[in-house]
Chain A
Amino acid sequence: MKEIIATLIITMTLPCFAESKQINRINSITGASTWEISTNGVYFSLTQILPEQLQAFYVNRGFTLKQIEPYSSSCVYMTVLRNDSAPDAIHFVSNEWSVLSAGNTHRLKSVDEWIRRWENIGIKKSAIVAFRWAQFPPEQVYQPGGDWNQGMLSIGLPPNSQFDLIARWDIKGKAYESKLVGVQCAK
């Protein structure tokens, strides 16, 4: 009986990870690769953004090439997370997500850390505002039926690196996760 209870407790505390198939595709117009998966009613995708495209976007919003270089070369993705049909609202903190690369695991560099860096080197306020709101939300709640966001996410790896990314969220305290495998940073 104790074994059954122990097994039940362990099962209940482990993150829920329903089997689902990852799809990788390449946009025929832009050439950008996308990795996507739907797990437990939640859609999750990463689409490559080239360093040069990031530089052009941020230079047009007040950064210099030199200022934005640490970010543009940090393997950035257009990220979508969407609650299509989870049983309830999902809540996540992206700083709790894990990047697995070359046998190492690291957390994502937070948006606040980037902003502090920009403030310390005197980037103008309007450029920082654009940077902040172009990022994937550091924390968010999505109701089922289609709440979602699309934003930039820095993985913190050099160009051409390969990695797995585990996204985590909870529903009323119960942990869930979704893993994208073999994602490639743009060259």
Chain B
Amino acid sequence: MSRNLSEYNVQSKKITCLLTLYIAATSIVTGVSNAEQLPPLTHKLTVIDGGGQAPKLELHNLDEDIINIKDLKGKVVVVNFWATWCPPCRREMGSLERLYQSTKHKGIEILAVNIGEDIDTVFSFMGSVDPSPSFHMLFDPEGSSMEDWKVRGLPTTYIIDTNGKIAYRAVGGREFDHPDILNIVLNLTK
């Protein structure tokens, strides 16, 4: 009996230790408790002169419906590549939702493409974002869309015009609800 208790205590300590380490690692990697060291998010987008047609993008969403970017032609589409463990991706997610809330009446769509994670992980993260995303969360478990879209680092965001062409790009986190970005997106609808 005393041996069982001792084994239980050792096991319990191991679990506590791993849990503590995981929380610490998540804090470092996600930058949750690292706020004083995080670089500021900017609001500048790069104009893509003569941007070609947006590459293919056909993935399932949280409801397991297939979303195809081709079906959104005629709308301005913001395509954001991200993951929950990517610090700037987490930081910009709330601003993407505020952008969506401010522009969806103009027919703007946001497709947030998660790389390599499952629905449970993403769903759990969404609950921690304020405001919680209501736009399409798409899932790319093997990251195969990254090559088509020439993404080299997360987050990367593209803005697609109503003709289905790439108009703007942002590498790294942005404040998507900044008036400068809001105006760029709204101007593309005209």
Contact = CB atoms under 8 A, between A and B. Distances in A.
A163 B115 CA distance: 33
Nearest to A53: B25
A146 B143 contact: no
B142 to A, nearest CB: 6
B118 to A, nearest CB: 8
Contact of B25 (A56, A132, A146): A56
B46 A57 contact: no
A34 B115 contact: no
Contacts of B28: 30, 32, 47, 49-50, 53, 78
B15 to A, nearest CB: 12
Contacts of B115: 129, 133
B76 to A, nearest CB: 21
A129 B37 contact: no
Given A129-B116, A145-B42, A146-B42, A27 B36 contact: yes
Nearest to B118: A126
Given A57-B85, A145-B42, A145-B44, A139 B33 contact: no
Given A125-B142, A129-B116, A129-B141, A53 B21 contact: yes
B26 interface: yes
Nearest to B22: A56
Contact of B24 (A56, A142, A143, A149): A56
A147 B34 contact: no
A150 interface: yes
A141 B48 CA distance: 13
A25 B37 CA distance: 9
A129 to B, nearest CB: 4
Contacts of B87: 150
Nearest to A47: B37
Contacts of B86: 133-134, 150
A130 interface: yes
A123 interface: no
Contacts of A141: 171
A31 to B, nearest CB: 10
Given A30-B24, A30-B28, A149-B172, 6 more contacts: A52-B25, A53-B28, A57-B25, A82-B172, A145-B46, A146-B174
Would you list the 3 A-B pairs with minimal beta carbon distance, nearest first? Answer: A146-B42, A145-B44, A148-B172
Interface of A: 25, 27-30, 32, 34, 43, 47, 49-50, 52-57, 59-61, 78, 80, 82, 125-126, 129-130, 132-134, 136-143, 145-152
26 contacts: A32-B34, A52-B24, A56-B22, A56-B26, A59-B22, A78-B28, A82-B172, A126-B142, A129-B115, A129-B143, A130-B116, A130-B117, A133-B86, A133-B115, A137-B153, A139-B152, A141-B171, A143-B46, A143-B171, A145-B44, A146-B41, A147-B171, A148-B88, A150-B39, A150-B87, A152-B29
Interface of B: 18, 21-22, 24-29, 31, 33-34, 36-37, 39, 41-44, 46, 83, 85-88, 115-117, 141-143, 146, 152-154, 170-174
